[in-house]
Amino acid sequence: MEAIETTGKNLAAALAAAAEQLGVSTDFVAHEVVEESAGLFGKSSVRIRAWVADAAPAAAEPAAEPEAPKAKPAKKPAKPKAAKAEAAPAAEPAPSSEADAAPDEEEGAAPVVATPADADAVLEIVRAVLAASKLTASASVSSINDRYVNISLEGRDVAFLIGKRGEALNSLQYLLNIILGKRLSNGVRLTLDGNDYRNQRETKLTNLALQIAREVKRRGEEAVLDALPAFERRIVHKALMDFEGITTYSEGEEPNRRVVIAPAD
């Protein structure tokens, strides 16, 4: 069956539209994301190419997967172990991947450790951005972990800053890290949290990773998660570190870098 293209405000809506056109349930719709657009505060649209599962899709250029909550099936059966080892970047065969742990540190360089002075500089940048946004929210340093200064947001508009599925929070964090990289130039990075969203997100990502790993092991085919920021990729790697018969690695370039969950054999 030939592939069709549908558009929705998110991946689920696009899949539902495709299922209706194809005359099957969403469980039998295979897909790949063709195009996505997302605003700073979570407004987005997704266009997908879809086909009935087990039917070959029309040829298409590979596209980045923008949404984190789901994984797309591999377009072809999993490669033999030797081929997979060749495909995986040497720097990141395991959850301790240097690319996911510190994407902009040079190989062999001393680990970056944030200082209290770095934390003060990070907090100053975050507060300046919040003030310019006119939103009712305050920021404080909750902890410092290695190169990361963890910032906690509080106030009436924090839910708005988090956005749907954390899209606004991740977008704001990404932009702030760009500013921070130019201001400090020492590899220090920040993470943003509000209303305990990150802990809840970690639990959901861990459960999702385990669910997909079980399916990958059963089917013998790899799965590629949607694009995730580095700190969320580390959650997935860690969750599957001891999962028998499964290996994980990351591929692609920021901000569209993704985790691949694949059979180890």
Model confidence pLDDT, tens digit, residues 248-258 = 999 998 878 99
Count up the domains in the chain and report the number.
2
Please report, for the domain that includes residue 154, its CATH number.
3.30.300.20
Examine residue 48 and state whether it is found in any structural domain, yes or no: yes
Please identify, among 193, 217, 244, the residue that sits at the C-terminal boundary of a domain: 193
Domain end position, chosen among 156, 177, 193:
193
What is the rounded CA–CA span in Å between residue 210 and residue 74? Answer: 17
- Residue 13's domain comprises 1-63
How high does pLDDT run on average in the chain? 77
- The pLDDT-based confidence of 69 (bands split at 50, 70, 90) is very low
Decide if 14 is inside a domain. yes
8 Å CB contact between 249 and 89 = yes
Q: Is 125 a member of any domain?
A: yes
> Which is nearest to 149 in space by CA: 178, 125, 122?
122
Residue 27: which residues within 8 A CB-CB, separation 6 or more? none
Q: How confident is the model at residue 165 (pLDDT cuts 50, 70, 90)?
A: confident
Tens-digit pLDDT profile for residues 9-67: 777 777 777 777 777 767 677 888 888 775 544 456 778 888 777 543 443 333 333 34
Residues 59 and 122 in one domain: no
Q: Which of 63, 83, 106 is the last residue of a domain?
A: 63
Note the Cα 219 to chain centre separation in Å: 23
Q: What does pTM read for this prediction?
A: 0.52
Does residue 76 form part of some domain?
Answer: no
Same domain (yes/no): 56, 120: no
Q: Are residues 121 and 188 in the same domain?
A: yes
| Orientation angle between helical segments 230-239 and 197-219, nearest 10 degrees | 50
**Average pLDDT rounded to a whole number, residues 130-145:** 92
In a domain, 199, yes or no: no
- Largest Cα–Cα distance in the chain? 60
